[in-house]
Amino acid sequence: MKKTWIGIVVSTLVLALLAGCGGANEPKDPASPPAEQPATTTPEKTVDNETAGLADGAYYAEGEYSEKSGWKEVVSLTVEGGKITKVDWNGLYKDGGLDKKTFSKNGGYGMVANGGAQAEWDEQAAKMEAYLIAEQSADGLTLNDEGKTDAVSGVSIGVEGFTELVNKALAAGPTEVGPYKDGTYRAEAAAFDEKSGWKENVTVTVINGKIAAVSWNGEHKDGGTDKVTRSASGEYGLVAKGGAQAEWHEQARSAEQYLLEVQDPAKIVYRAEDGKTDAIAGVSIHVNSFVELAQEALAGAK
């Protein structure tokens, strides 16, 4: 009896062990919720020009003419490989003539001499351009109530227009580029005119591949003020002395504006016998020298 009892106990233990092992291989109930797994997190991506990538191309934006200064700011950007590689911050004057950078380089703006600034406008603009290329964004600039910043050493001019136009240009996306190479181009007559004593010059500024500013002027063999200044002061006297309907500088501005519209000096047709044109309303002065010098200047932009 004792052996029989021991046998029954052993058999019972063996069956229990086998049942336990078999349960480990049974299929799970599909209705049972899966065991919780440790949560995984994906690092949040930061968006910047290098990772998100700007579309390659040219970007452009312009503001409005200032009632106080008469200047309209413009910004042109070039993006290559998803990064900003070139920046041009400039300005155009409501009455035409030189662009702001060239005007500043020629001493016309006079921020150092007249305003006590540590650098001229074009030099400070260059620092802002370099900042944007280095940082790839203008969002890090903190501006005060005057639109100025302490973030860029050597810059005391207002930069609010710059930051707004940069963001405006980037938000608009790549734009169509004109046929010319960006830059400022100048040509002048080979010699002083024997009759008038003037030697004329034309300066053309190209932004985003298009003619953005044109200046037609002249210097006299005897020195003194330039032709535009002398005309504006009444000294040239085209109306009083010659009976013209407008002074020389006013007619020159009309010719400049016409070139801005047609974007090609070859489209300004003039008469071979007297160098005058019927294409521009209110212009009775000789325009042949203007056309020829503009073509010569733009030869370097092709």
pLDDT of residue 52: 56
pLDDT of residue 193: 96
Q: How many CA atoms lie within 13 Å of 170's alpha carbon, on the beta-carbon side?
A: 20
pLDDT digits over 281-297, tens only? Answer: 999 999 999 999 999 99
Weakest mean pLDDT among 104-118, 186-200, 260-274: 104-118
Ordered domains of the chain (ranges, CATH) = 53-172 (3.90.1010.20), 183-301 (3.90.1010.20)
Question: Does the structure show a pLDDT above 60 at 14?
Answer: no
Give the model's confidence band at 242: pLDDT under 50 very low, under 70 low, under 90 confident, else very high.
confident
Q: Give 194-246 as a DSSP string.
A: TTT-EEEEEEEEEETTEEEEEEEEEEETT-SS-HHHHHHTTSS-HHHHH--SS
pLDDT digits over 140-191, tens only? Answer: 999 999 999 999 999 999 999 999 999 999 999 999 999 999 999 999 999 9
Measure the CA–CA gap between 76 and 99, rounded to whole angstroms: 14
pTM: 0.80
pLDDT digits over 90-111, tens only? Answer: 999 999 999 999 999 999 988 9
Query: What's the average model confidence in pLDDT over 216-239?
Result: 96
Query: What's the average model confidence in pLDDT over 239-257?
Result: 94
pLDDT digits over 25-57, tens only? Answer: 333 333 333 333 333 333 333 334 443 589 999
Give the relative orientation of helices 248-262 and 288-298 as an angle to the nearest 10 degrees: 50
Give the model's confidence band at 9: pLDDT under 50 very low, under 70 low, under 90 confident, else very high.
very low
Using a pLDDT cut of 70, give the percent of the chain over it: 83
3-state secondary structure at position 118: coil
pLDDT of residue 241: 87
Which residues make beta-bridge pairs with 130?
Answer: none
